[in-house]
Structure 1
């Protein structure tokens, strides 16, 4: 079953909680499809009025910020052994190559790596724990974390929601336009057929008249 189809069977309150939980756990450092859940939920909100996009965006933002903060605390306490443990549990995401790439980004960009890491799937998982492991000052991490969470979660929700609303509106207009075109084509086809039939009927008597004999 597709994610959005499954979400349609879930009450709105559960969707808010699910979005916040999944994004929070992903931000904590556990690979989960947070972005897929958020996009699917925002698209569903554009089609069903019982899901409030503002509440949805707020839950996603809260999950992102809280999850990253918990990940930072775990990374700061666990240190590099934590990255090794994550590498054993999730080798696809926390391989030595991925960790090294993320670490270079953090050392080079600092707060910006936390902020823009929100928009990159791999860095989104790394951001909190790795910032803690590298001992980034918490106030710097917090500023980048809050701003990144608001822009990413709130922005994604808003963009997907309004795109869904516009798309549904255009599809409705297209369906009405298609109906009008179909009716016009049907009427035109009927007129053409009737005209040809009348023309053929008029030609029959002329063909049936006897040709006068030559004197």
Structure 2
């Protein structure tokens, strides 16, 4: 059973709660498919199963609260916390991943928290690593709130309206609409993956064009 089919089997209120919890746990530092749950819930909102407003609100709250808890855990546990996590979960918290994320923090400061929300690896590491590196909390909070709202609310809105448009195409053009929707989805996925790859690349990241000088951690 696909995740969207599974979500349709539970009440709308629980869908919103699930979105907030999964994204919150992912932001806290637990590798969960938060983005997949968010996109699936947003698609369901386009079908009228759940309110897109509540999906966006719950996702934003989960992202902000989860990152804040992750910050507190990272600040308390410090670098030894990541050493232990690296030994247990090398795929997500290996030395290479931590070193790369730490470089972003030293180079871009609070912007790493904001833009990290849009990159899978940094989305998991941003909160705990910001705490471990002793980023001032007010800087973290500003970037965390803005990044959480823009990512969660923006993703929900985009997927919701794309779902509405795609449904109209399918009703009005049958197989032509289906082919157009599939091609559009594939091209969008390719574009987003390309952007994410460039953003996570140390040498080819797009943050250089946004941040002219690094913000000290």
- TM-score bin, normalised by smaller chain: 0.7 to 0.9
The number of equivalent residue pairs is: 177
Residue 12 of structure 2 corresponds to: 12
State how far apart, in whole Å, the 2-side matches of 1:89 and 1:164 are. 39
2:26 paired residue number:
26
Note the aligned Cα RMSD (angstroms).
1.4
C-alpha separation between the residues in 2 aligned to 1:73 and 1:30? 14
Q: Deviations over 1:69-109 (max 9, x none)?
A: 00000000000111112112221000000000000001000
Which residue is 2:131 aligned to? 132
Residue 87 to residue 175, structure 1, CA distance change in 2 (3 Å):
same
Q: Distance in 2 between the 1:94 and 1:176 partners?
A: 45
The runs of 5 or more residues in structure 2 that have no matched partner are 178-217
State the TM-score, normalizing by the size of structure 2: 0.79
After TM superposition, give the deviation of residue 177 of structure 1 in Å: 8.9
Residue in 2 aligned with 1:75?
A: 74
Match of 1:45 in 2: 45
TM-score (norm 1): 0.80
- Residue pairs, 1:1-215, within 5 angstroms: 1-47=1-47, 49-175=48-174
Q: Distance in 2 between matches of 1:132 and 1:82?
A: 11
**Whole-Å separation in 1 of the counterparts to 2:163 and 2:116:** 26
- Residues 128-171 of structure 1: CA deviation (Å, up to 9, x unaligned): 00000000000000000000000000000000000000000111
Distance 2:44 2:117 in 1: 22
Kept in 1, the 8 Å contact 2:8–2:49? The answer is no
Deviation string, structure 1 residues 169-214 (Cα, Å, up to 9, x no partner)? 1111113999xxxxxxxxxxxxxxxxxxxxxxxxxxxxxxxxxxxx
Structure-1 separation of matches of 2:67 and 2:176? 48
- Cα distance in 2 for residues equivalent to 1:175 and 1:53: 26
The structure with the larger Rg is: 1
- The gaps in structure 1 that reach 5 residues or longer are 179-215
Aligned-pair CA distance for 1:10: 1.2
Following superposition, the deviation at residue 23 of structure 1 comes to: 0.2
2:207: which partner in 1? none
Q: For residues 143 and 43 of structure 1, what CA distance do their matches in structure 2 show? A: 29
Kindly provide the CA deviation profile for residues 14-48 of structure 1, in whole angstroms up to 9, marking residues without a partner as x.
1001000000000000100000000011011101x
